[in-house]
Structure 1
Amino acid sequence: MTKFKSRRLCSAVLSVLIATSPVISQAQAQSVQTQSANAAAVGTEKSQLKVGQRYFISADNLNVRSSNATSGNNIVGKLNTNDEVEIYDLLNEATPLVQVKIIKSATVKADVAPELFVSKDYLSEKQLLTAASKYFVVQNVATEITRVYERCTETPSCPHKLVLETEMVVGRPEEGTKQDPHAFKTWLGHAKISEWIKFYQDGQAHYPHWYRAGQDLKTIPKAITDGVSKLVNSRKWMVDDGRGGTTIYGAFGWYAAKVSPADEINGMNYQWLHGTIGWGRDGSESIELTRGFLMNLFSNPGSAGCTRLENRAIAYLRSFLPVGTDIYRIYARESTREKEVISGFFKKKVTPLPRYADKYENPGNWNYILLTDGAQQSGGLTADAKTIIDKAIPVVTNYNLIEAGNYQYDQYPNATALNYTRTAASGRSGDRYRIDSGKKEDAGKTNFRGYFLVDEGRLLDYSHPDSQSTKGVIKVSGLADFRNSVPEFLATTGAHNPPEIQYQAEQENGVGGR
């Protein structure tokens, strides 16, 4: 990844950011009222629906129930836009539900329950034309890098534009359960962001919120990089779990993006995108620590295999990626369409990729103001400084202001080479789950299929590695369009420039010293 000098926003600039946002007293802040508008769905009357006719679902995350009741624990799945159902029984006018048969869905099996019920208000006779999101996310589990692209719509085969690339930590292959040694690995496939939650906590409360509404800000562990020893400071993020053991404080970080489909049958195994321990000013140090000292292991099955980003990165994504944004998880070798030229011997000169020459060693800048407002809420307040200032949201030091700063993010695409001289756990080998041996003599037996062109955001001759060939390491699920095929806008062919593979040294192959 391109190295650029990280610069923190100086205190003077921070003062300007905060000064331009209205600062009020704590008493005034407590009296500020937040108004919200709830839009009620306007659906079709039952008299217009017909038993035996098929309908398309007109909303994402529509609850499927196992009984004719809108309360109680009877939700057995969630349908998405353009899933298809057939009405079996209209029921009576007193209930907003109708009984259905599932005809087509990538997220809910037709026999998930003996009887299935959905709201009548989200049934359409015509298939909906859904607008593609402006941005999409590609997470390469092999290289542990998350990239965001702006979708190109000029022609069907135009290359997309990289917006950001950042490191992530995926589910650990070193951990598992007695029943499934691969239980905590990250699954591949296509999903969509279904919800953003600020300061999320897992459903079983194994890991405390990074911040909980009403919490004294002084009780949050201090930054990992404050002081002499990062390791000592990181240990302060290990806290009593109330069950006689220890747990990780704030493991889900500032924001979490839930995805849909989510379940473990046809979804992404509840593997969210989220932040991590530490403060914004800790930068990527918090990511590096979670590769080693702090386990990337969640005892809650609903969070095993989540992808973890540093807090500034996840907060930035929250600021511009809306609900509905596509997320594609792949396991691929990386390459570029264009060629980066390195010349010189003693003093090397880099001629950048032409499309991104202005982004080379020129990071993007994003200013943030993280407030307590919206804690634990779905769609909780963004940390985008401009939004907070433009909306005149009160910023009160020692009351609702947690941290303000600047995030410099990489805008230049860097293809990660396969490097088997590095350990898989380092996050630098390009093969995190070690699906290949790393031996040069086995190069023709690779389990990788195709390449990911990081400068275009497209896949060249790609398919997911085979689960059987990788002995169950690779698991593919999610939306049907990316299980056994590649969407047209993501697919490409032609010449490219992959980086050279670094194979294991001979002594590592067991043939050295003979």
Structure 2
Amino acid sequence: MSISRSAKICSSLLSVLIATTPVASTAQLATNTSSVAATATKGVDKSQLIVGQRYFISTDSLNVRSSNSTAAGNVVGKLALNDEVEILNLLNEATPLVQIRILKSSTVRNDAALELFVSKDYLSTKEVVLPGSKYFVIQNVATEKTRVYERCTTSPDCAHRLVMESDMVVGRPEEGSEKDPHAFKTWLGHARISEWVKFYQDGLGHYPHWYKAGQDIKTIPAPITDSVTKTLGGRKWITEVEKGSGSTIYGAFGWYAGKLTPGDEINGMNYQWMHGTMGWGKDGPAAIELTRGFFVNLVSNPGSSGCTRLENRAIAYLRHLLPPGTDIYRVYAKESTREQEITTGVFKKKTSPLPRYADTYERPLHWQYMLLTDGAQQSGGLTADLNTILAKGIRYSTNNYIEQGVYEVDQYPNAVALKTTRRAAGGKSGDRYNIDEENFSGYFLVDEGRFINYAHPNPALTKGVIKVSGMADFRNSVPAFLNTYGVHYPPKVEKNEQQPN
């Protein structure tokens, strides 16, 4: 995320930052399920709760404690939305806690402690239903690619369809904390988007907003591509830390930030969000490419500290396309395709594209965006989709207008080959964390959004490089709708000459 080595975020620090930042409750997010959201018993008297009854967790992340105390040292896990518990003891009215037994949880074992306690304020008699999404996201940390798929529901074993492919930056592997050399790597697993925040700034002020409500737009740094080189343009975005000393990156969270749940560092995604970056829309992928340059990495490490970061037009499109509740799967996989491209000719080569995607080959979708100041620092802040803004009759002028343009959405799947001939930091090796080919298991079919014999790389065999957490259904297994089998066509692995075939 940052060009400054001294500024650390999106891993251990982010747990503190989130605690200082107001976020929408799950009930607020479920705009189409107000009747369900209303059943949440937040703030209810204990007299309305029943010992022996089953309840659902009605928040994204709820502390589970080993004793009847709200002290920080007794947290043994965090329950996720719609986990199920049974009340064993209401205790006394002086404490907000109740004693429970875990019936079903995607994040916490039922034997995490001899006795378990949670706050009474986030128990519901009914499941909380988030607005459904027809899309899901697969982020391949190995290849630094984010892909969005439209879920196929016509049959149990049908292939999904790619609707967006984009580069991303993952947590940097070149350095860590004093306690953990892998502290800033991106964790693998299954999470969901719980909310979108527009122009987010962390609670400790390490990374200033891209834009703050009431700010003079002219004070935002100039576009990166307005300079002679991207490196010079990127330097314009280096600024002083608001609280403390040293330098940091202005607008490091970009236009939009998607919060993921479960987010905690015990059973969640280590508070590693999905968000934009510095730079303007007109800069395109310049801010992403900047992190991969050889010379800039000699001076400082501009990589992320665990979050997955996309260019601002891409994250704005995701904010428009993906509602809260959308599934995010982070994997570390070799890539392949079910169908095969055919290249013919010698001097004038011609490629026959993948049959299912012939209509999108070299024909990107043109998405029109307009970024306004409206909704700054708000959960669910105004989208940048131009058609939505016009349809709602939202007024824009020199006072709230920031930028307008067209984003060409790549909707054609391109499998990335494993290339040990390339620098891992260059984003083209297919093995960003250098775990070596023998630690890969199975393939990810980028044209179907499904896996063949895939398993996350073993954390022990990779010596802690790989960390797996999140929802239980994607830790040691693959959900059925993401599984497939049969013939496929992986790109040829490129190896160094000194390596055996």
* TM-score of the two chains, using structure 1 as the length reference: 0.82
Name the CA distance, whole Å, in 1 between partners of 2:56 and 2:449.
Answer: 31
Q: Which amino acid aligns with 1:267?
A: G
Instruction: Note the C-alpha offset of 1:121.
Output: 5.4
Q: Which amino acid aligns with 1:325?
A: T
The residue aligned with 1:270 is 271
Instruction: Note the C-alpha offset of 1:55.
Output: 3.1
The residue aligned with 2:459 is 467
Q: Which amino acid aligns with 2:439?
A: N
The residue aligned with 2:325 is 324
Cα 1:49–1:183 shift into 2, 3 Å: same
Cα 1:120–1:96 shift into 2, 3 Å: farther
User: What is the CA deviation profile of residues 434-463 of structure 1, one whole-angstrom value per residue up to 9, with x for unaligned ones?
Assistant: 111xxxxxx6xx111000000000011100
SS in 1 for 2:434: coil
Cα 1:244–1:112 shift into 2, 3 Å: farther
Deviates more, 1:334-343 or 1:197-206: 197-206
The residue aligned with 1:189 is 189
Name the CA distance, whole Å, in 1 between partners of 2:336 and 2:33.
Answer: 47
The residue aligned with 1:456 is 448
1:138 paired with 2:135, answer: no
Name the CA distance, whole Å, in 2 between partners of 1:132 and 1:393.
Answer: 26
SS in 2 for 1:189: strand
On the 8 A contact 1:420/1:502 being kept in 2, the answer is: yes
Deviates more, 1:365-374 or 1:112-121: 112-121
- Number of aligned residue pairs: give it: 455
User: What is the CA deviation profile of residues 132-184 of structure 1, one whole-angstrom value per residue up to 9, with x for unaligned ones?
Assistant: 63100000000000000000001010000000000001011111122111111
SS in 2 for 1:162: strand
Cα 1:456–1:486 shift into 2, 3 Å: same
Gaps of 5+ in 1: 1-35, 299-303, 437-442
The residue aligned with 1:155 is 155
The residue aligned with 1:33 is none
SS in 1 for 2:224: coil
Instruction: Note the C-alpha offset of 1:79.
Output: 3.3
User: What is the CA deviation profile of residues 298-351 of structure 1, one whole-angstrom value per residue up to 9, with x for unaligned ones?
Assistant: 6xxxxx310010000000000010000000000000000001100100000000
The residue aligned with 1:486 is 478
On the 8 A contact 1:171/1:306 being kept in 2, the answer is: yes
The residue aligned with 1:23 is none
On the 8 A contact 1:55/1:84 being kept in 2, the answer is: yes
Cα 1:246–1:253 shift into 2, 3 Å: same
Q: Which amino acid aligns with 2:120?
A: V
Q: Which amino acid aligns with 1:336?
A: T
Name the CA distance, whole Å, in 2 between partners of 1:367 and 1:108.
Answer: 43
The residue aligned with 1:42 is 39
Name the CA distance, whole Å, in 1 between partners of 2:75 and 2:459.
Answer: 31
Paired-residue identity, %: 64
Q: Which amino acid aligns with 2:121?
A: S
Q: Which amino acid aligns with 2:124?
A: Y
Instruction: Note the C-alpha offset of 1:291.
Output: 2.7
The residue aligned with 1:116 is 118
Deviates more, 1:155-164 or 1:100-109: 100-109
Q: Which amino acid aligns with 1:295?
A: N
The residue aligned with 1:232 is 232
The residue aligned with 2:60 is 61
On the 8 A contact 1:274/1:309 being kept in 2, the answer is: yes
Question: 1:20-31 to 2 correspondence within 5 Å?
Answer: none
Deviates more, 1:283-292 or 1:325-334: 283-292
Instruction: Note the C-alpha offset of 1:228.
Output: 2.4
SS in 2 for 1:139: strand
Name the CA distance, whole Å, in 2 between partners of 1:238 and 1:129.
Answer: 42
* 2:491 aligns with one of 470, 489, 499: 499
Q: Which amino acid aligns with 2:118?
A: L
Q: Which amino acid aligns with 1:175?
A: E
1:100 paired with 2:97, answer: no
Name the CA distance, whole Å, in 2 between partners of 1:94 and 1:161.
Answer: 54
Cα 1:211–1:73 shift into 2, 3 Å: farther
Name the CA distance, whole Å, in 2 between partners of 1:383 and 1:96.
Answer: 41
